[in-house]
Structures are given as C-alpha cells and as structure tokens.
Structure 1
Amino acid sequence: MNSRTLGKTGYSVSEIGLGCWQLGGDFGPLSDQTASDILRAARSLDVSFWDTADVYGGGQSEERIGAFKDKSGVLIATKLGRGPQFEGMTRYTRDKVKDSLAGSIQRLGIDTLDLAQLHCIPIDVLRDGEIFTWLDDLRDAGMVRHWGASVQTVEEGMLALRADTCTAIQTIFNLFRQDAIDTLFPAAQRANVGIIARLPLASGLLSGRMSAATAFTSGDHRNYNRDGAAFYVGETFSGLPFDTGVAFADQLKHWLPTGMSLADLALRWILDQPAVSTVITGVSRPDQLKANAAASRMEPLEAALIEKLMDFYLEKVRPQVRGGI
C-alpha cells in the first residue's frame, strides 16, 4: 500500500483508507465477527487510516474499533456535531463539543483523538466560526491532536479553510462529483490541508454491480435516503436519482482500460488527483477491502481518459446532481 502525507498534520496515511460507517450497522446488520474480520483485513493490507463518527450506530462503530486490539500505527479519525447532545444541530456550545469528544475518546479506548472532524454541521455554524476556536482550545487541552471538517459542499469546505488550524477537509469526491478540483483542492494545497475523499464509489453506483432492479434493506440509507428524505441528498448516490446513476455507470463501462473494473477506474481516478491524501472506502466484507486496496498499486490513468471523464461529468452528470455541489 502506498502512503501520502495528510497535510500539515504530518501523518503518513494509506492511499486507500477504511470508512467505518458500516460498522455501526447503518447499511444493514453487521455481526461483531464480520466487523472484526474487516478491521483485521485492514491491518493485513496496511490500510492505516480508519474513519468513523460518534453517531455511526449510536457509537457502535467507535466501540467496535475500540475493542479491536491491534491498532498500532493506525490513524483513527472520528467526527462530531450530529449527535443528540446538539439538539437537532441547532445548539452548539463549547461544553457540548467537549462532551462529544470525551464520549468518542471513551468508546475508542484512547487518551487523545488523532483527528476530530466537524461532521457536516450547518453552514451558518461554519460561517460564524466560533466552533473553530473551541476546537483549538480543546486541542491545546490535549483532547485532540488535530481537527478538520467533513463537508457536503465546496462552499462549506472553503469556509472551514478560513481557520489556519484546520488540518484536513473530508469531502464527497468521485467521478460523479468533480467540482472540488477547481476551487477547494487548490485552496487546500495552498494551506497545506489534507484532503480525505469520501463516497468514492457513489454509494456503490461506481462499483459496477448495480442495476435498476437492485434493492436495499429498510435500514440501509440507500433505501430510506435515496431522495434525501432523512439527510442531505448528496450523501446517497452523490445526489443522483438512482436509475440515472445506474445508467451513467453503465456508460462508463465502455471506457474501461484493459484489466480494470469500474471500481478500479473510480478509485484510481481519485488517486490521480495530487491534492488527495487518502480515499476512504466502506466495505461489508474483507475481500472488498482487498480489491479496493489494489488501486493504490495501479498505474495512473492516461490524460486523454481523464479529460473524457471530466467532459462526461460536466455535460451529462452534473446537471442531474441534486443538492448543493
């Protein structure tokens, strides 16, 4: 596994990381054994960046990571700002932020958080910026080593970058969401802020295994949030209507280089962006992680293909994306 530096944190992180939303059971039931097997596979593959949040499974994702014994050399990043203590994401205070971080520290079984990220909090809170000062204070108090922000739109990412002490931006970025290339990525590079790319396969659309007949369990956000009924529509299928996204994915299959799957193409394309530090992929089986990790060792895509993929996004995909970009 190749590694990159996560901005001014100085941390060395694996190019392919592990998204841990599924460890909370939010994509359907996941046994303790399977969760442990996924984490064990991550260790064996040198996947050294694990991303979780306090609300995944009501803390279950953090607890499962905390119970896993072999975490040496792993950077564990968590998120805060969407839990019940924030009362519908309307009331943020320094004490509530502190309590949220303390809960994550306890569940993860550690003394200090490597990286705490604001979890897609309201844009008005980002505009106000006072929460950045609270995180600075809690960093100085030893609760966190670094803080960053997980965002839903380019505008939100740019607001977080106003804080000199922000060290990482996690953003939706994939073949169906390319806008960050033009503004957010250059700004992050100038500030030496790491970029964590999430939803690299657009909730599975870019795995190449879905069809219009694909169904999801009732507890899977790809069922209950496919049109944004529960939270930001862009978090599910990158904001595309499901059938439209499947059709776009099928078109991309005609351009696959020899020996590449659609998932390979999607991951390699992200890794070919120099601003990206790591790509977090969520998996429900250990073998999926092994397949994802292989993208780190693949050759870069040809420039002509990258240009074709950009044109396809601008002309076909972008007009169909719902929610802010």
Structure 2
Amino acid sequence: MKNRHLYKDGPLVSEIGLGTWQLGTKWGEPFNEVEAEKVLDEAYKNGITMIDTADCYNGGNSEKAIGNFLKKYSEKFTVVTKCGRCLNPHTTEGYNKENITNFVEGSLSRLGLEKLDMVLLHCPPSPVFSKDEVFEALDSLKSAGKIASYGVSIEKVSEGLSAMKYPISAIEVVFNMFRLKPAEELFPMAKNKGVGIIARVPLASGLLTGRYDENTKFGEKDHRTTNRNGERFDKGETFSGVDYATGLKAVAELKALFGTEDLIPYALKWILMHDEVSVVIPGASKASQVSSNVRAAETPALTKEQMEGVKAIYDKYIRQSVHGLW
C-alpha cells in the first residue's frame, strides 16, 4: 500500500482508506459490533492506516467500534471524524462554538482519544463556510490540544473554495468517474494552498462497482431506495446524483472500456491517478469488501486512452445533468 500526505506537512496515510458510514451494517439495518470488528481487522491486515468516520454514523457506534479497534494495535492509525449532522434541525445557527466544542468532546470520548487527528465540518449549510465564528472555534480547539487539524466535508465545489479562505487542512468531497467537476478548480487551489483532498463516495453508492443492473433491489430503508431525488438529504450523496438508469448505461460503456465486469479497482485507481488526492475512502459493510477495494493499490496506472475514455463517457451521459449542480 502506497502512502500519501493527508495534507501539506501532515501525516502519511495509506492512499486507500476506509469509510465507515456502513461500518457493521448495511444502509438502514441495525449495527453489528462483531461485523464492524471484522471489517476494521481486515483493513489493518491490508495496510489501511486511515479511517474516516463521523459522530452521527450508526448513532455513535461507528466511533465506539473504532475506539475499541485502536486499543488492539500499537500501530498508528489516522482517524478523521466529522461533526454537525447530529444537529436537529440542521441549521447554520447550530454551528457555533458551544456546539462544535461539545461535538469534539463527544467524539474524543467515543474514540477513547485525548486528541483528534482531524475533525471536519460535516456538509453544513453553505453559509457556514463563510462564518468566522465556526473557524475561530476550531482554531481554539486546536490551540487547546483537542484537535490536531481541521477541515470541511462539502457538497458543492463553491463551498470548498469559500472554506479555503480559512486555514483548513483538508477537504472531503465527492469525486469519482461520475463527478469530475472538483478536478477543474477545487483541486488546483487546494494543491496551491497545501490542502489535502479526501475523495468520498468513490464508487457512486456502488453503481461504479459494475455489479448492479435494472433488476437490482435495494433495502426498504436504504438511501438508494429512499433518496434518489433528495427526499432525505442532498441527492448528490446517492449515486452521485446520477439517474440510475442513465448510470447503468454509462457503466456498460465503462466495462467495455476496461474490458471487465468488475470496475472497482479501475474506479478507485482512476481517482488515485489525480495527484491532488490524498486518500480515497471506499466504504465496507463486510470484510470481503475491504480486500476487494485495496486491489486498486496494485492496479497498474491507467493509460491516457483510458483516462480520456472515462471523460468521454462522462460527457456523453453524465455532464449535462450533474456537472452544474455540485
């Protein structure tokens, strides 16, 4: 497993990390502590040293499971957690010094840590990215030794551009073969400022695995069933905002481009072909998915023709409906 700096002068982390939105569960199903432990152990065995989580994942059980995992090994893992989505209602006003401090203290307790490696604002309302009080609160927590660094998780490129007016260390953003826009303006500015890029939703909610078809059924409470039009949260989180039927057409051409039914290693390698990316964080609800994801680390660099082919498929099927929204 190759390592990259999480941000300029930041810690070295495995270029493939572990996203834990689904840790110990499938979307909409109860948390399984035993399965969560298996997933984390498999990540360790495969050389993953970066784990991404959030205080709201599985009602805090994701952070607790990671905290227990950290106690088992002497090796250093970098844990990035996020805060803010527990707010109800989820409003700009809720992002204030008192709440952010409480969020950080809660994550420290669940993870069993004295200092967080990194905390990200968890896709807050757009005005938060220009709210001085928020970043002053994060600066205070850093000065107090509660966090080593901070950054933002974003829905829109414009939010990341706004956030870089402040001394953030990293930006977490949806970036995959169906979401090319971040590479145009966000990545160059981040590189210039030494801000790391954490690529999330790398497989477009599984659509870019190549394993789904028109007959695939998702769980009743799965966001891929309930949020296709943004009924619960930003629809860009579900299939990267791509219409499912249209996405299947694009996937068919991607399979032809790479000559395979299994797109996972190619979809992840495509992301890692962008030097600005610090780490990509595919999720895993079971241990076998971890070992499947890390195969991208051994996949040869994509050719110029393959990279151009991905862009051509994006332009043909995806750009018109997706590019301008995020």
TM-score, normalised by the number of residues in structure 2: 0.94
For structure 2, the 5+ residue unaligned runs are none
Q: Distance in 1 between matches of 2:265 and 2:306?
A: 14
Structure 1 range deviating more: 215-224 or 105-114: 215-224
Contact 2:119–2:147 (CA under 8 A) maintained in structure 1: yes
Kept after mapping to 2: 8 A contact 1:233/1:322: no
Q: 1:322 to 1:83 in 2, by over 3 A?
A: farther
The answer to whether the Cα contact below 8 Å between 1:52 and 1:62 also exists between their aligned partners in 2 is yes
* 1:8 to 2:33 alignment: no
Counterpart CA distance in 1 for 2:184 and 2:146 is 34
**CA distance in structure 2 between the aligned counterparts of 1:272 and 1:260, rounded to whole angstroms:** 21
Aligned to 1:23: 23
Output one character per residue of 1:243-281: Cα deviation in whole Å (capped at 9) or x when no partner.
221221122111015x78311111110010010010001
Contact 1:146-1:167 at 8 Å conserved across structures: yes
- C-alpha displacement at 1:316, in angstroms? 2.0
**In the aligned structure 2, how far is the partner of 1:35 from the partner of 1:301?**
33
Residue number in structure 2 paired with 1:73? 76
One-letter amino acid of the counterpart of residue 79, structure 1: K
Q: How does 1:29-178 map to 2 (within 5 A)?
A: 29-68=30-69, 69-71=71-73, 72-84=75-87, 87-91=89-93, 92-163=95-166, 165-178=167-180
Partner SS state of residue 148, structure 2: strand
Change (3 A) 1:248 1:319: same
CA RMSD of aligned residues (A): 1.6
Q: Does 1:315 align with 2:322?
A: no
CA distance in 1, matches of 2:78, 2:242: 32
Counterparts of residues 195-206 of structure 1 (less than 5 Å): 195-206=197-208
Tell me the amino acid that sits aligned with residue 295 of structure 1: A
Identity among equivalent positions (%) equals 40
Alpha-carbon offset, residue 26 of structure 1: 6.0
Deviates more, 1:199-208 or 1:75-84: 75-84
Matched to 2:253, the amino acid is Q
Report the count of equivalent residues. Answer: 322
SS of equivalent residue, structure 1 residue 274: coil
Q: Which has the higher strand share?
A: 1
- CA deviation string 1:28-84 (max 9, x = no partner): 334211110000001111101100001111211111111223353110110011113
**1:71-104 Cα shifts (integer Å, max 9, x gaps):** 53110110011113x6422322201110011001
Distance 1:260 1:162 in 2: 43
Q: Does the alignment pair 1:297 with 2:301?
A: no
Q: Which moved more, 1:63-72 or 1:268-277?
A: 63-72
